[in-house]
A and B are shown apart, each in its own frame.
Chain A
C-alpha cells in the first residue's frame, strides 16, 4: 500500500481549495484486473493554484531535459489525458518564461504547461503559460516525518 507523504497531503489540500486544479484521471486497465492502487492515490495537483481566471483546455507536466541558449527541451506528460508517464517532447523558448521561472530553469526541473483561456475584466484571451514548480519550504515536522518513514523502511529491510 503506497503511503501519501505529508507533503503530498498538503498538495491535496491545496487542490481542494483551488478552482483551477485538474482532477487527474488514472489509467485503469480494468479489463486485465490488474491491481492499480497507485493510480487512485495521487491526482495531479499544482503546488500553487492556478489563477482563478484561467480555464485550462490542455495541461502537461514536464521536466527539462536539455537547455540551449534561447530554448529548452522537455519531456511532457499529458495530464489532461490522465497519463502517468511522459509520452511527448517539445522545445520551448526561454524568453516565454517569467524572470522568476528563468531562475528555476535547470535540467530535471519540473514545470506545468497550460493552454487555455484567461478572463480579465470581461475580456477573454487565449494563453499558453509555463509555471515552474517552486521548491517547497519543508517544515521541520515534515522533514522529520520523511526521515521516520525512511527509518521504518530501513528497519523492515534489516538495514538499521
Chain B
C-alpha cells in the first residue's frame, strides 16, 4: 500500500459492518483518525493496520484523533489507537465531558459483568488516556477542531476541520436524555438508542474543496438538535458546497435530510457509506435507491460480504444441528473506500476488499 504524495489529500473510509473509521491525510504527512473499528481478519484497529501497511509510524504521523460519539461501533479499539498515537490531539464531543456522564461510565464499566471490550470500557479508556490530560479539544457547534496553515502543507492550501455538532441545546440536554439508559442498565449491555444526535459531524476544507463527514448524525423532531441546526449553519461555512459526503448513519432514513443534499452538497456529490450488519441491517435496498436519486457517484465499504462463521469441532456442529440453531456471522469483511486528490485534480476513487460502487 503506497502512502499519498505530500501534496495529496486523502480520505479513507473503513467499515466492516459493525463500526466505521475515517483516516484523513491533510498533506505533508499530517494524518488524522476519526473513530475506530476493528478488522476481524487481524483483530487490529483498521486505522493502525492501514498506517502499518504504508510503513507509517502512528506516533509521528497522526496529529489528531477524534471520537465522534461514544457508541460501541464507532470506538471499538480506540484505546489502542490512542496508545499508539501518542502525539495526537484528542477531539471529543463537548456533550460527553460532564460529571454525570463520566461517573456513569465508570460505574457502568465496573458493573457490567462481561469480558467484552465494550463501548463503555473504551470510552472510559478515552477519559483515562494521556491525551485527555493534554488539553483535548471539546467539540461543539461550528468550532474549528484542527487546522494547518498553507505554509506547512506541500499543496500550499490551508486545511481546516470544523465540528458542526452537537448543538448547544443538545449539549445541555444530553444527560437528561441518556441518563436513564445508564440507570436502567444495571450490569447489562447498554442500549445505544437515542443519542446519535450527539455525534460530531464535521466540515473539512482544503485544496479548494469541502467534505462533509456525517458521522451518525440523525434527523430530529426538535429543530435545535440533529441535522437542522447544521443545515442552518451551512451559509456560514467556508468553502463551497461539499464535493464529498460521508453519508450518516449507514444510509438509514433516520440520517437522511434532503435539505443536506440541497444546501450543503454539490450535485452528484461523491458519497460514501459504511454498512450496519446487526438487526435487519443497513443500508436497505430502498436506502440505496434513495441515495442514487441524489448522486451518480455512491460507494459502500461493504454491502453484503460477511466474515464466515468459524469452523468448529464436529461435536459442536452436530449439537447445533440437533438443536436447529443456526449461527450467523455478525461481522462483515472490512472494506475500504479511498479518495485521493491533488489541488485542481478530481478525486480518484480506489476500492479495497468488498468495497463497491452502488450507483450506475
**Contacting B84 at CB < 8 Å: which of A35, A89, A92, A107?**
A35
CB distance from B1 to the nearest CB of A (A): 14
- C-alpha spacing A11/B316, complex, angstroms: 27
Query: Which residue of chain A has its CB nearest to the CB of B77?
Result: A85
Q: Mark A82-95, 1 if CB is under 8 A from B, else 0.
A: 00111111111000
A87 touches B329 (CB 8 A): yes
A77 touches B40 (CB 8 A): no
- C-alpha spacing A159/B102, complex, angstroms: 9
B115 touches A44 (CB 8 A): yes
CB distance from A56 to the nearest CB of B (A): 10
- C-alpha spacing A77/B331, complex, angstroms: 11
Chain B interfacial residues counted at CB < 8 A = 62
Given A63-B188, A108-B185, A88 and B117 touching (CB < 8 A)? no
Which B residues, 1 to 43, have Cβ-Cβ distances below 8 Å to chain A?
Answer: 18, 38, 40, 42-43
Which B residues, 40 to 83, have Cβ-Cβ distances below 8 Å to chain A?
Answer: 40, 42-44, 48-49, 52, 76, 79-80, 83
Once A and B bind, how many residue pairs between them come within 8 Å at the CB atom?
164
Which B residues, 263 to 279, have Cβ-Cβ distances below 8 Å to chain A?
Answer: 278-279
**Contacting A86 at CB < 8 Å: which of B103, B116, B315?**
B116
Q: Mark A66-92, 1 if CB is under 8 A from B, else 0.
A: 100000000111110100111111111
Query: Which residue of chain B has its CB nearest to the CB of A73?
Result: B279
- C-alpha spacing A5/B108, complex, angstroms: 12
Given A65-B279, A88-B327, A157-B102, A133 and B113 touching (CB < 8 A)? yes
CB distance from A129 to the nearest CB of B (A): 11
Query: Which residue of chain A has its CB nearest to the CB of B326?
Result: A90
A86 touches B330 (CB 8 A): yes
A136 touches B113 (CB 8 A): yes
A87 touches B49 (CB 8 A): no
A88 touches B44 (CB 8 A): no
Which B residues, 135 to 177, have Cβ-Cβ distances below 8 Å to chain A?
Answer: none
Which B residues, 312 to 341, have Cβ-Cβ distances below 8 Å to chain A?
Answer: 312-313, 315-316, 319-320, 323, 325-331
Q: Taking the complex as formed, is A140 at the interface, i.e. its CB lies under 8 A from any CB of chain B?
A: no
A109 partner residues in chain B, CB cutoff 8 A: 188-189
CB distance from B82 to the nearest CB of A (A): 10
A135 partner residues in chain B, CB cutoff 8 A: 113, 186-187
CB distance from B278 to the nearest CB of A (A): 7
Which A residues, 133 to 160, have Cβ-Cβ distances below 8 Å to chain B?
Answer: 133, 135-136, 138, 146-147, 149-150, 153-154, 156-157, 159
- C-alpha spacing A5/B110, complex, angstroms: 6
Query: Which residue of chain B has its CB nearest to the CB of A83?
Result: B43
Q: Taking the complex as formed, is B219 at the interface, i.e. its CB lies under 8 A from any CB of chain A?
A: no
Looking at the complex, which of B124-132, B236-244, B283-291 is the stretch in contact with chain A?
Answer: B124-132
7 more A-B residue pairs beyond the given contacts A108-B188, A153-B128, with a C-beta to C-beta distance below 8 A: A43-B115, A63-B116, A110-B187, A115-B315, A115-B316, A146-B106, A156-B128
What residues make up the interface of B, taking CB atoms closer than 8 Å to A? 18, 38, 40, 42-44, 48-49, 52, 76, 79-80, 83-84, 97-99, 102-103, 106-107, 109-117, 124-125, 127-128, 132-133, 185-191, 278-279, 307, 309-310, 312-313, 315-316, 319-320, 323, 325-331
Give the top 7 A-B pairs by smallest Cβ distance, nearest first.
A108-B188, A27-B43, A150-B106, A44-B115, A5-B110, A63-B189, A108-B189
Cβ contacts A to B, 27 pairs, < 8 Å? A24-B115, A32-B52, A34-B44, A34-B83, A35-B84, A38-B117, A43-B115, A45-B115, A61-B114, A61-B116, A63-B188, A66-B279, A77-B115, A77-B116, A86-B330, A89-B278, A90-B325, A109-B189, A115-B315, A133-B114, A136-B111, A146-B106, A146-B107, A149-B110, A153-B102, A157-B127, A157-B132
